[in-house]
Amino acid sequence: MRILVDADACPVKEEIYKVAWRHEVAVSIVSNSFIRVPAHPLIERVVVSDGFDAADDWIAERADARSVCITADILLADRCLKAGAVVIAPNGKPFTTSSIGAAVATRAIMADLRAGAMGDAVGGPPPFTKADRSRFLSALDEALGRMKRAGR
């Protein structure tokens, strides 16, 4: 089992380390630039090129049924789900095979709205809260527990 993290804008890296250490699960922190990570045998820093989707591609190529992927990127979540991985957003909400289609469609609609706004602000995600952090900790802990019980 391992955790793959889309790390460039991930606000819950410290929480990931704590849960990973408790469950003794390896973590790959994947980014386009250097990110400080703890010196620990379970933590791997992966710096990919700054090419478009390089981090996403690295993660998607390694995602499988024994992986938990942490990302807010809907298209990466879709790729990881198709590979059989468990996918959790940093706010703790899971991406599932039944919810990903609607998320991809909403993303496309929002991209069209932003393009049509011609520079006008069209909102963004809500601010990250303590409740999001707490929900994430629970979701990751539960996902790893389920995978262990299932023998993954």
pLDDT in tens, 108-139: 666 666 666 555 555 666 788 999 999 999 99
Q: Are 6 and 28 spatial neighbours (Cβ–Cβ below 8 Å)?
A: no
* Distance of alpha carbon 129 from alpha carbon 109, whole angstroms: 25
Global confidence as pTM: 0.85
Q: Which fold has domain 2-146?
A: Rossmann fold (3.40.50)
What pLDDT is stored for residue 60 in this prediction?
97
pLDDT in tens, 49-99: 988 899 999 999 999 999 999 999 989 999 999 999 999 999 999 998 777
What tokens were used for 19?
Answer: 């849960």
